[in-house]
A and B are shown apart, each in its own frame.
Chain A
């Protein structure tokens, strides 16, 4: 059976550095940091008191007030970006065969704030179980694609992938495979997360995973810098419309890029720590290259997982060295998490959008906040430090890795 070709025809983004795709891209090119003191709750007693929050977002500007009240923020974010991506794609949802349109979404956690509120209310009560009937449907991680399908009538495959910070890359790969195999014509994919809550911040702080640079939040996310001290928690959503190539051409759709391959692997090593030699990360990039039918010398840019943690950044770059050899020195390597923070389950989607737009515009966004070289990092690697770099990007790779040792890698190619 010949696999179908899959292309990207629509994008939507709601991020800490921009509430639309255009705003997000402009901030990426200009090296804007999304970090600021936490506003969603009182973080005064927390080790980390800043995060990359979505700003100036009023759900009722997009969603009916009653509907918005029935959704956790992670689902509101999903709805808004799915709408933007669908509008961008120009897909006429009245004409499309709705049984062949799927929604495959990614979320690392789901409605954490809803969970926290309901359990807190219960704990403060007299033991009577006065849980809100919307508690479970608001919280569950799969409600986001459910709501997107309810709004648009899409009756194809519909679910959420959960693999922590690799979740939405998993979703994109599942969407790719669904269309490749001829199961669907169109899949709305991506991911969303809204974990900037007391439980989220407190939980990650307890793991010593997050930066505590409270005196200077904007420079806290500094992947590859010698003085990095952990990731900065982010939130938001990214949505992509993936479409079978002939389906897109037949309706004269704008095509951003081809989704050329995806790779998956597991570290099989530790619940949260990356393997020091990055063996699972080597495997995932090799799997992705094989899946795409490309060679190491074909890759122009790699948007790394690059979370700004001491161990993870070095292990990933070592793995890139192993997979790409001498070719690694010709690649624009970057980490857009230096600007957006770490969007957890939404990271794969918003970073995929950055890769696709790098192909579209011929510019690779920078890794900001770099001032001190890390002796453990090969100085010959081009880490796209501090300034965006022009480049005719033909092939862009995007890495994401999740707690649990889940690795996912997606590759996009400029359309021939």
Chain B
């Protein structure tokens, strides 16, 4: 009897994992606020990036402020491969990263090991 209950619970957890990680979930997206011809977005790094999608206006100098709150070494660098940026993120310090917004398009950023991703849209 106990074994049947354990089996049931186990299968339920598997179902939950499938739904939680593979189901469709909304992704937070933020458009940059433009002030005095500059735009900036604050991004918190904790178990991933929030927001994960950032929209920037083309041609306006942009700064992304990354603050790492997570102790994981997985997230201690942020890499924008299209821009040649590989920035170390010291814990609990805001690090400003300047983005060249001259070319519109979709760019990805990722952690140093390419496991967490974020998307940058310039339009």
Chains A and B bind each other: no
